[in-house]
């Protein structure tokens, strides 16, 4: 029984929606039970939040793909804490504020976006849906936000650019031991108008992901990974000097995987335009801080020299507001987007982004803010 409720939940979605610290129960394959909103007796015709999409995605994905996308490293302590950290923080609304007109729009590195939510780099999206990264890119473009394409995508940068002409997009960089592989992909991204390079710095080696080990995870034979992170070795000698090499491509460099003030300062000193406070979705070093818990330390250390973004654990519009209040310019979503993709391809991602945008919009109004720029440290404890 969920300790937050006085009776057994009517459906699996009630547990997921009310207790994020627990692993959601599995939905029986092929179940025809209707979705029910928590606390309501009548079924709803479609998922109404990200938790609903997660449960439906589990039904859609095979065990191999689900283990890869849902799992974390080690005992998954950090994976769970990324979610729990948002529950520990409480919002402080201000009342009698004019919120007749509320906008969710903001800017990131000078790019105007319609909501303070970007698409995080997430590998091998064609394991979730045949359209993979193309569906995600089209949904992000339609929502007027930025998609970050993973080095380990199942779609090349050139293909994503062709599918979304004129859209804002970033390219995530893993640096391989054979640097020519990395340089080839960066050159393709630059040639196809990707506007920033996102260097992942928390993965000199892949974390030990035990769900993958138990399931004997394998890349499906019909898929080709653009930058194969499983067979190609990363450059474990990567250093801060390499930020300057990356900046030589003429694009802003964003450093993803920062959790400490010390590294935030070094990123700024070596020319980073932005940093992403991230623990790789709990998939690398288990036992590190939740991203949200590390955010304020990083914001203080950066001290306005670069923009600060956050990923890890975002499932609600109120999560976004808490991150903004602690100093993030915007957040990135990975798994939340992936569940939408698995359920209904491009339309699923579109629906997730619109659900979150509406939650942010309502949350801003109830918090007493007319825009993301109005959210301040005083709005959260």
pLDDT tens across 125-144, in order? 999 999 999 999 999 999 99
- Say which of 66, 129, 280, 379 is annotated catalytic: 280
Give the model's pLDDT for residue 46: 86
Distance of alpha carbon 185 from alpha carbon 269, whole angstroms = 26
The answer to whether residue 280 is catalytic is yes
Burial zone of 59 (CB within 10 Å; 0-12 exposed, 13-18 middle, 19+ buried): middle
pTM given for the model? 0.89
- CATH topology for the 106-379 domain: TIM Barrel (3.20.20)
Q: Which of 84, 72, 75, 81 is nearest to 209 (CA)?
A: 72
Report domain extents, the chain: 12-76, 106-379
Locate the DSSP E strands across the chain: 106-108, 111-113, 117-119, 147-149, 169-173, 197-200, 253-258, 274-277, 307-311, 330-333
The answer to whether the CB of 260 falls within 8 A of the CB of 297 is yes
Residues of the chain with pLDDT under 50: 1-44
What distances in angstroms separate CA 314 from CA 9, 293, 353, one per listed residue? 23, 13, 12
Give the model's pLDDT for residue 231: 86
Distance of alpha carbon 82 from alpha carbon 281, whole angstroms = 8
């Amino acid at each position: 029984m969920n300790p937050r409720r006085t009776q057994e939940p009517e459906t699996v979605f009630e547990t997921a929606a009310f207790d994020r610290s627990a692993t959601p129960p599995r939905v029986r394959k092929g179940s025809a039970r209707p979705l029910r909103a928590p606390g309501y007796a009548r079924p709803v015709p479609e998922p109404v939040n990200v938790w609903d999409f997660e449960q439906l995605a589990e039904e859609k994905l095979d065990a191999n793909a689900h283990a890869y996308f849902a799992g974390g490293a080690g005992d998954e302590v950090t994976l769970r804490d990324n979610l729990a950290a948002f529950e520990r923080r409480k919002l402080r609304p201000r009342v009698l504020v004019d919120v007749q007109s509320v906008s969710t729009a903001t800017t990131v590195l000078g790019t105007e976006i319609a909501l303070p939510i970007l698409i995080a780099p997430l590998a091998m999206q064609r394991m979730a849906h045949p359209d993979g990264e193309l569906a995600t890119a089209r949904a992000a473009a339609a929502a007027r936000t930025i998609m970050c394409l993973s080095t380990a995508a199942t779609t090349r940068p050139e293909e994503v650019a062709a599918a979304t002409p004129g859209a804002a997009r970033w390219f995530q960089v893993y640096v391989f031991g054979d640097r020519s592989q990395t340089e080839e992909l960066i050159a393709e991204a630059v040639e196809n108008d990707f506007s920033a390079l996102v260097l992942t710095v928390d993965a000199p080696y892949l974390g030990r992901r035990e769900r993958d080990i138990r399931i004997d995870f394998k890349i499906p034979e019909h898929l080709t990974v653009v930058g194969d992170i499983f067979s190609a070795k990363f450059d474990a000698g990567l250093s801060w000097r390499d930020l300057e090499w990356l900046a030589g491509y003429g694009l802003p460099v964003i450093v993803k995987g920062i959790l400490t003030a010390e590294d935030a300062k070094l990123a700024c000193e070596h020319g980073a335009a932005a940093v992403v406070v991230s623990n790789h979705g709990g998939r690398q070093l288990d036992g590190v801080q939740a991203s949200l818990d590390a955010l304020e330390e990083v914001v203080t250390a950066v001290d306005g020299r670069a923009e600060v973004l956050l990923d890890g654990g975002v499932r609600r519009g109120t999560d976004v507001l808490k991150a903004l209040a602690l100093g993030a310019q915007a957040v990135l979503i990975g798994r939340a987007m992936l569940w939408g993709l698995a359920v209904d391809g491009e339309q699923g991602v579109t629906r997730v982004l619109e659900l979150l945008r509406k939650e942010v919009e309502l949350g801003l109004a109830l918090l007493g803010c007319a825009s993301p720029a109005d959210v301040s440290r005083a709005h959260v404890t």
